[in-house]
């Protein structure tokens, strides 16, 4: 069966160039930042480049892309400047993503910075209601988090509460990060139980994308340190278990491993395809 696998790419020379590089590395989906990940403004709008990218994505039958919000975006922050940036960044990013219809926009729900988990959840939910109050050709995804510091979203229950409060099933989903849920304490060796819990608490219909990473830390460490596939505490067996699971294998899988080159990502993608072909 066809599997959508890719990695996080830098926009570099633009969108069409990014699609070309993805094809070169054997990917048929990818993730990218719409702006400098540490903050800053969006790239200048190049409609022609976006149109060429869109045509190529169609021609090469890519799965949905999974754009990533800036790391500094925190709608649960306690500083005015932080909240203003969150408001601006997602609005602009979603406007830009309209040129790539059917894409996902993944974001870290936020850190409540000692305002308490409930305040955090309320701030994030109100924010999403504002962000999603417009017609959209993309779907916003809440990422499952490792639980570092005061991060919101390391328990499925927290994401479920946000989804319920926002009440926009058509434009809100979840991106599951294997490194993060492992570090949050979920046991990937027993993927069936994890997915059953996900289904009971959130609902599997909300699961739209997977970040497929190994982890440097033991289960429950809550530190969020990604590792190359097979070289960390999750290991190949669990990784392939996720990739080939009947309830997951149709989703886009994005690598965010600490590769230093795109060639490295290409090798990991090839390895994933080889190992899953033995099973599928
Ligand atoms: Fe992320
Ligand atoms: Fe991730
Ligand atoms: Zn991470």
- Give the ligand at the shortest distance from the Cα of 148: 3
Distance 22 CA to ligand 3 centre (A): 21
Distance 209 CA to ligand 2 centre (A): 10
| Containing structural domain, residue 41 | 4-277
Cα distance between residue 255 and residue 250, in whole Å: 16
HSE-up of 244 (CA within 13 Å, CB side)? 15
pLDDT band at 12 (very low <50, low <70, confident <90, very high): confident
Its pTM surpasses 0.95? yes
CATH code, domain carrying 243: 3.20.20.150
Number of DSSP helices (H) and strands (E) in the chain, helices first: 9, 10
Render 157-193 in DSSP notation, one character per residue.
HHHHHHHHHH--TTTEEEEEEHHHHHHHT--GGGHHH
- Give the ligand at the shortest distance from the Cα of 71: 1
- Give the ligand at the shortest distance from the Cα of 69: 1
Residue 37 has pLDDT above 70, yes or no: no
- Give the ligand at the shortest distance from the Cα of 146: 3
Residue 82 has pLDDT above 70, yes or no: yes
pLDDT band at 39 (very low <50, low <70, confident <90, very high): low
Collapsing DSSP states into helix, strand and coil, what is residue 210?
strand
How many distinct structural domains can be found in the chain? 1
Distance 67 CA to ligand 1 centre (A): 10
Q: Report pLDDT for 45.
A: 86
Mean pLDDT for the chain overall: 96
Q: How do residues 95-104 score in pLDDT, each as one tens digit?
A: 999 999 999 9
Residue 42 has pLDDT above 90, yes or no: no
Percent of the chain with pLDDT over 90: 94
């Amino acid at each position: 069966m066809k599997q959508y696998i890719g990695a996080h790419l830098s926009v570099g020379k633009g969108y069409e160039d990014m699609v070309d590089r993805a094809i070169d590395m054997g990917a048929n989906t990818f993730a990218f930042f719409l702006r400098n990940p540490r903050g800053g403004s969006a790239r200048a709008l190049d409609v022609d480049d976006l149109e060429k990218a869109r045509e190529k994505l169609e021609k090469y039958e890519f799965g949905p892309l999974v754009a990533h919000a800036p790391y500094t975006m925190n709608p649960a922050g306690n500083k005015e400047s932080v909240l203003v940036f969150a408001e601006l960044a997602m609005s602009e990013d979603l406007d830009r993503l309209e040129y790539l219809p059917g894409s996902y926009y993944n974001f870290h729900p936020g850190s409540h910075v000692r305002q308490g988990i409930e305040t955090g959840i309320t701030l994030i939910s109100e924010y999403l209601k504002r962000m999603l109050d417009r017609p959209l050709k993309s779907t916003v995804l809440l990422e499952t988090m490792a639980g570092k510091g005061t991060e919101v979203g390391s328990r499925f229950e927290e994401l479920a509460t946000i989804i319920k409060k926002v009440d926009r099933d058509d434009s809100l989903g979840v991106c599951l990060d294997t490194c993060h849920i492992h570090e949050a304490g979920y046991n990937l060796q027993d993927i069936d139980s994890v997915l059953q819990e996900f289904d009971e608490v959130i609902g599997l219909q909300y699961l739209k994308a997977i970040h497929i990473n190994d982890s440097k830390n033991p289960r429950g460490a809550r530190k969020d340190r990604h590792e190359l596939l097979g070289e960390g505490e999750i290991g190949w067996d669990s990784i392939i278990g996720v990739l080939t699971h009947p309830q997951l294998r149709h989703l886009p899988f994005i690598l965010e491993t600490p590769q230093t080159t795109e060639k490295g990502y290409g090798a990991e993608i090839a390895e994933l395809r080889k190992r899953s072909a033995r099973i599928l």
